[in-house]
Structure 1
Amino acid sequence: MTGPVLQVRDFCVDYGQVRALDGAALDVDAGRIVTVIGPNGAGKSTLLNAIMGVLPSRGSVRFLDRDEQGGIEARVRRGMSLVPEKRELFASMTVEDNLVLGAWVRPDLRRGGADATRDEVFRLFPRLHERRGQLAGTLSGGERQMLAIGRALMARPRLLMLDEPSLGLAPLVVREIFHIIAGLRDSGVGILLVEQNARAALQVADHGYVLETGRITLQGPAAQLATDPRVAATYLGLGSAG
């Protein structure tokens, strides 16, 4: 499939009297990486959680050419996966068991496709294969992030949403994780990447959005945003705002 996997329009989320997202709009195409960058508290995680159905929202979420109004499980069955910021692994279960649980929401995969998908994940993340019998709680931070992404891929998503995948990781591990994310393009999955590490995000993404205090303030090709003086000054630590 080519073309848009996800289209979000006039998207609003409120926390009581506080408007956390105000009229956000974005597109994610198949086989493309779209990043949303911005400061802490801008609404980036809120955006992902609302698209996933975790938070109530107003506006339009169109997924695979259909308006999406179902709950979380329905969205996962249709092909949405979210890797949350806290990863939320089952620490007392093995790496392999965590992966198997990722396919559980898809009855078609439970009936026989899970093993093949697990083997694909192990090819993508050889370190997880090496540690498949190890408890998830004993993994390093980078390995836990790999497992969280691998578990999401077990549901064979058409849209993969990643919330701060670099959080708490050493620079060398961040490069490895982003290299893996870039490689997922070849699978045709659309990727929506929320990141505070703007430099790494813009290097890997095809298109980018800047989210500030709940509003999209800039958007464009990632390479173009990376050279925009406002983005460089505010998020890349280069030059002055001018």
Structure 2
Amino acid sequence: MNMPVEPLNNVSTHTLLEINNLSVAYGKVEALNGASLRVGEGQIVTVIGPNGAGKTTLLSAIMGVLGSQGQVSVDGTVENVPQVEIMVGRGLGLVPEKRELFTSMSVADNLLLGAFQRHCRGERDHGQTLKEVYELFPRLWERREQLAATLSGGERQMLAVGRALMAKPRLLMLDEPSLGLAPLVTREVFRIISTLREQGVSILLVEQNARAALRVADYAYVLETGQIAMQGPARQLADDPRVIEAYLGLSSRHQEMLAT
């Protein structure tokens, strides 16, 4: 049964993103069924769940990559039919699971493409934004002239996040940012997620590493078979026996290593 959206127990009371009864179907197969959630300004909200639960579908529908039914509200403005260009203009950024970099282009050019829409709006501060991204990811500065195809997995993830930040999003949506990364790189990715929140970027995090996600997040939702099965403050869910059994028990040692 789908659960109603409750106020988030954190310092922020201003809702940046709110979705209500969002549904997505692939033909007759319903991948997302009446999902509702909210992200407050300055918060990290995570969505955890098994493979095939609809987590990537959820982010794609919010961003307008997939058609959906329901409402997506950004800063109080309702979008019944989200479109990518409009959602980017509203301040949303998505880092997809597959990163989708331009591998035949340099690191610097990939980053500059992230500021394309802002440039089209007449904003010319991409040089300062680029400097900020390089400060956050010194490795990208070192690799700035290299082709994206030559980067390691961790460096590609940094580049994907950096490119999204070039659009100066108010809300950054991350789809499985630790997927396929070594433990040391995974810990660095989650450190960066915390740093971004400190810099004022709200984050909606989809992540299979439930332990690391619950540790860094303020609030959490559990998505199962396309529906929100549980929700609550992240620390509370981390101690919930149902979450421990389903997501933290069998692989707890491995996830603990990645989350530390």
Residue 44 in structure 1 maps to residue 55 in structure 2? yes
Residue 76 in structure 1 maps to residue 67 in structure 2? no
Q: Is the 8 A contact 1:104 1:110 kept in 2?
A: no
Equivalent residue of 2:103, what SS? coil
Residue 137 in structure 1 maps to residue 149 in structure 2? yes
- TM-score, normalized by length of structure 1? 0.95
2-structure distance, mates of 1:11, 1:101: 30
Runs of 4+ in 1 over 6 A off after TM superposition: none
Q: Is the 8 A contact 1:53 1:71 kept in 2?
A: yes
Share of identical aligned residues, percent? Answer: 65
Find 2:177's aligned residue among 165, 174, 177.
Answer: 165
Find 2:231's aligned residue among 193, 196, 219.
Answer: 219
Find 2:20's aligned residue among 9, 29, 36.
Answer: 9
Deviations 1:56-92 (A, max 9, x none): 1111100011002442112112211100000000111
- TM-score, normalized by length of structure 2? 0.89
Equivalent residue of 2:125, what SS? helix
Q: Is the 8 A contact 2:112 2:130 kept in 1?
A: yes
1-structure distance, mates of 2:38, 2:235: 17
Query: How many residues are treated as equivalent by the alignment?
Result: 239
Equivalent residue of 2:177, what SS? coil
Residue 2 (structure 1) shift: 6.0
2:257 equivalent in structure 1: none
- Partner AA of 1:209 in structure 2: Y
- Partner AA of 2:237 in structure 1: L
1-structure distance, mates of 2:57, 2:151: 28
2:211 equivalent in structure 1: 199
Deviations 1:17-36 (A, max 9, x none): 11111110100111110000
2-structure distance, mates of 1:157, 1:176: 21
- Partner AA of 2:74 in structure 1: F
2-structure distance, mates of 1:8, 1:205: 19
Equivalent residue of 1:218, what SS? strand
2-structure distance, mates of 1:64, 1:111: 21
1-structure distance, mates of 2:126, 2:98: 25
Superposition CA RMSD, Å: 1.5
Residue 110 (structure 1) shift: 5.8
Structure 1 window deviating more from structure 2 (26-35 vs 1-10): it is 1-10
2-structure distance, mates of 1:109, 1:175: 36
Ranges in structure 1 where 5+ consecutive residues have no aligned partner: none
Q: Is the 8 A contact 2:62 2:82 kept in 1?
A: no
Residue 107 (structure 1) shift: 3.0
Residue 41 (structure 1) shift: 0.2
Structure 1 window deviating more from structure 2 (105-114 vs 26-35): it is 105-114
